[in-house]
Amino acid sequence: MIVMQYAIYGSLRKMLNSNFEKLTWHNKIKNLFYIAFGLAKIHEIGLMHKDFHSGNIVNETKTSSYITDFGLCQPVTENDPEKIYGVIPYMAPEILNTGEYTQESDIYSFGMIMYEVFTSYPPYYNIPHDEKLVILICNGHKPEIMCEIPQLLKDLMEKCWDTDPSNRPKAIELKSQLKKYSNYNYNNEIKKQIDKANEANKLNKNFIQYNPKITHPQAIYTSRHLPFLKSKKVEHDTKQWDFEIPEDII
């Protein structure tokens, strides 16, 4: 028998659905700090999570988040490009292009989690999670940002989902930055940006908190095998993915 700590708020996704309006920017940053703290621990021992999304994070409180579900967690030296699992909106373009997971791929996923915490919306909630979305992600497409985000936090988020993995910050850097931003009463610049964002969001009458009922019926937020991705060998014995492009995407 395994005894585990009870996460009263459930998954991060469930917590955002029921508590987003009550979350301050301090709450959001604190949440992300704890997630980055956990991810840094995973990366420090040479592992990668490989299935990193808001459904695999649980909340003991509105600000205490813990990473769960290590079923696909592996050393960075291990990869099986023939068996790709995941939730497409959180998967980095290099995974979808080559089938290769890295710690930098986890950072891309963290960027999508940041987007979710900041806006209340899961990425790509309103379109099918299929081959078309894979192509969009591989072409550098990002989710629409529908509300004002403090610029320092927005910059950090966008670095995480940079198309070039080498431009993404390390998990330990994310932990350090978010810890610094969480003490925004002592940081004039982030405080100014938070005040500006709060004012802009009050005036933004077009912004409505995410309602799960508007999710596209083919938006899938559980990890699954992606059988439409088929690997093929290319020059220099590397691999890339080949899948049939639907006729209506052109």
Handedness of CA 96, 225, 125, 65 (dihedral sign): negative
Cβ 42 vs Cβ 73: under 8 Å: yes
Please spell the DSSP secondary structure of 65-121, one letter per residue: EEE---TT-EETT---TT--EE-GGGS-HHHHHH----HHHHHHHHHHHHHHHHHSP
Query: From the candidates 51, 106, 162, 242, which is the catalytic residue?
Result: 51
Distance CA(12)–CA(119), nearest Å, equals 13
**Is-catalytic flag, 51?**
yes
The pairing of strands 85-86 and 74-75 is unpaired
In DSSP notation, 133-161 reads HHHHHHTT------S---HHHHHHHHHHT
Q: The tokens 């009463």 sit on which residue?
A: 185
Name the residue with tokens 């006729």.
247
Which residue numbers are catalytic?
A: 51
